């Protein structure tokens, strides 16, 4: 059902009749702000992105994730770390799905 793509962990896509394309995948990024390029660019636009952190955290820690700059070829992902009410810091090397 899903066609696999190389270069990204667990990446795949499905093209439906009528042109709608679903892409799924996961990546371990190396910085707190980075550009994620889709394995296959959408022909016109990306309609929606969902990012989820898959990283074990302590009870006093919060990791926030946001996506911005969405285009047909990729999206910007930003991750921030806050521990026990302290200042918000960039967070690196966090797996994202």
pLDDT tens, residue by residue, 10-60: 677 888 888 888 888 777 766 678 888 887 889 899 998 888 777 766 666
Residue among 79, 81, 80, 74 nearest 96 (CA): 79
DSSP string, 20-49: -EEEE--EE-SSSEEEEE-SS--SS-----
Tokens encoding 2? 């899903």
Question: Mean pLDDT highest for which of 35-39, 45-49, 85-89, 90-94?
Answer: 45-49
Distance of CA 18 to the CA centre of its chain: 26
Question: Cβ distance 52 to 9 under 8 Å?
Answer: no
């Amino acid at each position: 059902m899903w066609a696999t793509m190389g270069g990204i962990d667990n990446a795949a896509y499905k093209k439906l009749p009528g042109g709608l394309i679903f892409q799924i995948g996961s990546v371990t990024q190396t910085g707190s702000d980075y550009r994620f390029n889709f394995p296959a660019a959408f022909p016109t636009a990306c309609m929606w992105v969902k990012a989820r952190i898959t990283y074990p955290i302590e009870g006093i820690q919060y990791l926030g994730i946001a996506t911005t700059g969405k285009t047909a070829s990729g999206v910007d992902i930003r991750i921030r770390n806050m521990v026990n009410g302290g200042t918000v810091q960039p967070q690196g090397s966090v797996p994202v799905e």
